[in-house]
Amino acid sequence: MKYATLNWKIIDVLNQFYQQLQEEILHIGYSLCFVSVGFLLGVKVGKKQWLSEEKKEEERTLMKERTFSLKYGKTELALSIPAEQLICEIMGKEYPPVTDVAGAVKAALARPIDAPPLREVVRPGEKVVITVSDITRAWQRMDLILPIMLDELNAAGVPDNNITILIVVGGHRLNSKEEFQMLCGENVCHRVQVLNHDAWDEANMVYLGKTSRGTEVSVNRVVAEAERVILTGGIIYHYMVGYGGGRKSILPGCSSIKTIRQNHLLSLGPNMGDGSNPNSISGKTRGNECHEDMMEIAAFVKPDFILNMVPTPDGKVAAIFAGNWVSAWMEGTKLVDEIYGVEISAKADIVITTAGGYPKDINLYQTGKTMDNACYAVKKGGVVILLSECPDIYEPLEFSDWFKHGDKNAVEKVLRANFTIPGWVAFKEMECSTIATFIMITKEENMELVRKANMIPAVSMAEALDIAYNKCAADKPQFIVMPQGANTVPLSAGQPKIG
């Protein structure tokens, strides 16, 4: 009994010790757990704070600079400018392209604007002429549109042998048969007769009368003697007559060279030394004397129907407009304003723009529209950096030869005596330097002609920026960047304005 009692006492002591040990272990465990959890939470919070700081630093870096990559020839040139000094980047509006061009054409022909359907416009057996722009306007994609139009005319009783397509080259060179196929499609060229308009062929012109401004109107005999005239084309901004398309299929399209020159002289001021007519600008028609004269010239022809397209910024079909030759075209100009007219809050000290890379910057002639558009974004006396590689800078020679006359006034004098579009483009480019200092990034071998065009040549973005900063009067110049310089027009209170 004595040993039994002793054993029970020992067991009680051991049990008490064990319970105390368990409590200590639990206490230590809880403490370790809390420490672990606290450590993990601290790591998580710390990591979150660290990531947040890293993100803030990235944001601060982005706020410090904006980087751009602009097209130049077949490559791109990069640049960075202070973000706080960037007014805006001018881009055309993204616009969904037509996914079914054939369906859109059929719908436009069946439900035209302010005109009966095409099938109701023509009568069986009539002689029909369709005007098509030349190879410089291949982006209008008439090869997709003409087959449907021919089928509509056939359904109305006009056979293929009664239809003539006239390539309305205006004052441009005649197009080749290979170019006919590129413009119209091979099948169309086999179906109907395709001809060139020759503005210098006086024997093939028919005199129709004079406009209110005295322009003597003579047009191609094929058009003048047709029973129905259908115009086709594309609408974009035009820096002489507001917009392309519409009446331009008649003037300059199928008019005599004399008529073209008389009309285009209206793009200059009335007197020698006036320079360009301030009303002859992109996006302006009312009060634009050259455009208004064009409308009168086209009215002599009385076109029966029109089909014009508007392109998206990446060259697809944005929309088709068909019907009355005036109102359908005017509806198309509204879409051009919507896509390509870009409102800006202020003019820039320095504008950086690109002609758009190859083939848009293949020569200086093609660069003119980009230069003109930049003038609406830059302050008077500011600087424009222009990217245009120009591997064929002297082409066409009828353009580059104009710079041999010397200064702007000498070119204007010759232009008034013998107006040509290449001469006008050369004159407009020389005029740009009276608005701003133009620095052109181009190939080194192009420097001589660039200087004759009143621009400063540069061979790199770094060199151009260095010159721009030195020429600019502002300590912290404000920038505008134009990656689509050939097509987008900067607007101030809804209008393109100089200075």
- The answer to whether the beta carbons of residues 484 and 357 sit under 8 Å apart is no
The pLDDT score that the predictor gives to residue 90 is 96
The pLDDT score that the predictor gives to residue 52 is 64
**Interatomic CA distance for residues 208 and 206, integer angstroms:** 6
The pLDDT score that the predictor gives to residue 64 is 86
Same domain, 258 and 136: yes
Domain membership of residue 408 as a residue range: 63-90+344-491
Same domain, 403 and 323: no
The pLDDT score that the predictor gives to residue 137 is 78
Q: Which of 298, 315, 338 is the last residue of a domain?
A: 338
Same domain, 350 and 454: yes
Instruction: Strands of 108-215 (E only): list them.
Output: 128-133, 163-168, 193-196, 205-210
Residue 30 lies in a domain: no
Which domain CATH number covers 306?
Answer: 3.40.50.11440
Residue 43 lies in a domain: no
**Interatomic CA distance for residues 117 and 130, integer angstroms:** 16
Six-digit token string for 45 = 């919070």
In the DSSP assignment, the letter for residue 96 is: P
Same domain, 304 and 361: no
The pLDDT score that the predictor gives to residue 253 is 94
CB atoms within 10 A of CB 148: 19
Same domain, 357 and 237: no
Q: What is the largest CA-CA distance in the chain?
A: 149
Same domain, 71 and 111: no
Residue 383 lies in a domain: yes
Who's near 434: CB < 8 A, 6+ residues apart?
A: 275, 408
Same domain, 80 and 141: no
Q: How far is CA 453 from CA 159, 315, 371, 411, in A?
A: 52, 30, 12, 11
Same domain, 372 and 438: yes
- The answer to whether the beta carbons of residues 496 and 281 sit under 8 Å apart is yes
The pLDDT score that the predictor gives to residue 32 is 42
Same domain, 147 and 261: yes
Under-70 pLDDT residues of the chain: 1-63
Residue 58 lies in a domain: no
- The answer to whether the beta carbons of residues 290 and 240 sit under 8 Å apart is yes
Gyration radius (Cα) of the chain, Å:
34
Which uninterrupted H or E stretch holds 349? strand 348-354
Q: How many domains does the chain have?
A: 2
The pLDDT score that the predictor gives to residue 80 is 95
Same domain, 177 and 291: yes
The pLDDT score that the predictor gives to residue 28 is 46
Which domain CATH number covers 85?
Answer: 3.90.226.30
> At CA 95, angle to CA 90 and CA 101, rounded to 5?
140
Residue 40 lies in a domain: no
**Interatomic CA distance for residues 411 and 413, integer angstroms:** 5
Q: How far is CA 91 from CA 88, 285, 301, 345, 388, in A?
A: 9, 23, 38, 14, 18
- The answer to whether the beta carbons of residues 355 and 361 sit under 8 Å apart is yes
Q: Which of 338, 365, 381 is the last residue of a domain?
A: 338
Same domain, 69 and 211: no
- The answer to whether the beta carbons of residues 104 and 320 sit under 8 Å apart is yes
Q: Which of 291, 306, 338 is the last residue of a domain?
A: 338
Same domain, 197 and 244: yes
Residue 56 lies in a domain: no
Residue 230 lies in a domain: yes
Residue 428 lies in a domain: yes
Report strand pairing: 378-387 vs 348-354: parallel
The pLDDT score that the predictor gives to residue 58 is 54
Six-digit token string for 229 = 């005239």
